[in-house]
Every structure is written in structure tokens, then in C-alpha cells.
Amino acid sequence: MRGVALPRPVAWRGDRTALSVAVSLAFIGAAVPCGIKGVESVTAADYPTATIALAAGAALVLLAGTLALVAVAQSITPLIKEEHDATLLLPDRKVQVLYRASFLTGVTSTALFAILVPLRKTSFHLSEGGYTFYPIWAGVIAVLLLIPLVRSLRREGMCYVHLTVSGIKLDDGYSSFESRWTDIKKVADSTPKSKGRRLIVFNLADDTTRSFNATGMFTPGGVALYWMIRHYWKHPEDRAELADGRALDRLRDERFDTTVP
């Protein structure tokens, strides 16, 4: 994939590079005090606190690296597998490694915080109410991070796109969506409330709307993925390619219908 031949969907026009850089730097900035606290705790032989702090710092740095790769550098190559009757797209291998590592270290930090802080087994200085309030929030975050991590162990990636001659199945790590091509009335690039976000939106025959937001994990900026899905929805005569490997060639060459009615 060249990553530059296809036009960006109209609703995705905003350039979010500056924002992504700022968020990445913010993550790294937040990781610095975590690292300092971790080193101080190791020196003091306070290993529970050190583990929590260092794991939190590592998670933030890994998230910053993932964001830089996906949203800033857009150095993405999807992992594509040809099945006997389908085409399976998985996130870039580098992205999968970074995401899994960041979620694993994040779960480690937040889960230990939720367990050890109320027991006063760490050296974090909190208010009396903080010993109850912050561990609850840490526990919630641990669960939210654990969900996609556990789900990913049951398949080959934290999210995926599965395309067949008859339909499509998408999973973003937290929820999945499946539909027959004939039940999709429209494939759009936004909803009334999502202008600027890089979504693939499906307006279904039952008048419901579903969206997929993990686009940038598969192709640079998510652009090729959007046009690929829209092409096969719009051109049923080409869907046989999804079952015989030709879809991979079309994706590599970026030969998609980009006309918008």
C-alpha cells in the first residue's frame, strides 16, 4: 500500500497530527514522575510501590509510542490472512505488540493499586478518603483494560476486520458488529455527532447505526480500510475477491471506487 493515492474521506479532513503529538508528549510527561517514584521506591526497598509506579510509567510510554506510530507516523501495514472463504485483516504487528504490552502493564499497575493501597501496603500519600476513592477508580480502569486484553487471547489480534462474500464482521476490542452486505443501507464516514473522527459508519436496514473507530490500526490513517469496505459494499460483483485472495491485491494497489454519490 502506498498510503497516499486514496483521498481522505470528507468528514476526516481535520489534520490531528499536532493533537496526537501533544497527547503523546503528555503521556511521556506523566510517565516521568512515575519513573522517579519507581526508582525512589526501589532504592527504599518498597517494591509494591515500585512495581505500581514503574508499570504505570511503562504503560504511558507504550501508549505514547502506539499513538505516535498510528496517528503521527502512520507507519502501518496490516496483517492479512486469506481464509478458505474470507479475508481477515488484523492490526499492524507492531501496533499489536505495543497495545498488548501497554494494556498488560496498565492492568498490572491499576490492579495492584486497587488491592494494595486500601491495605496501606504502599508509600503513596493520600487523604483518608483517597484510600477508598482512588483504588475504586483504579479497579474500574483495570477492568476496562483487561477486557480487550482477555478478548485478544481468544483470537489473533485485539481487533479485526473479517470480510466474506456474504457479509462483514468487525471487532474493536470492546464490542463486535456483524452484518450481511445486503442489510447495510449505507457506508458513511461520520455521524451527525462525530465530525472529524475517523469512523466507518454503517446505516443498517433496521434503521440502526453502528460504527467502527479502530481504523488507523489497520492502514495508514485508516483511509484504505474505509474505501476497501465501502468498495465491497458498493460493488457486489467484486465480492468474490474476498474468498480467493484477490482482495489482497486490490488493497495493495489501492484500487477502490472512491466516488461519493
Closest by Cα among 163, 179, 152 to 250: 163
In total, the chain counts a number of residues equal to: 261
DSSP state of 254: T
**Of the given ranges (84-93, 128-137, 155-164, 219-228), which has the lowest mean pLDDT?**
155-164
> Are residues 20 and 148 both part of a single domain?
yes
> Are residues 137 and 172 both part of a single domain?
no
Q: Does residue 255 surpass a pLDDT of 70? A: yes
Q: Where are the beta strands (DSSP E) in the chain?
A: 79-82, 86-90, 160-164, 167-171, 176-180, 184-188, 200-204, 209-212
Q: Is residue 86 part of a domain?
A: no
Choose one of 124, 153, 182: the last residue of a domain.
Answer: 153
Its pTM stands at: 0.83
Q: Does residue 14 surpass a pLDDT of 70? A: no
> Are residues 63 and 120 both part of a single domain?
yes
pLDDT in tens, 107-141: 999 999 999 999 999 999 999 899 999 999 999 99
> Are residues 227 and 104 both part of a single domain?
no
> Are residues 26 and 99 both part of a single domain?
yes
Choose one of 137, 153, 169: the last residue of a domain.
Answer: 153
Closest by Cα among 186, 247, 225, 218 to 6: 225
Q: Does residue 40 surpass a pLDDT of 90? A: yes
Quick one: pLDDT band at residue 189, thresholds 50, 70, 90?
confident
> Are residues 34 and 146 both part of a single domain?
yes
> Are residues 17 and 56 both part of a single domain?
yes
* Domain span including residue 148: 10-77+92-153
Q: Is residue 40 part of a domain?
A: yes
CATH assignment of the domain containing 199: 2.30.29
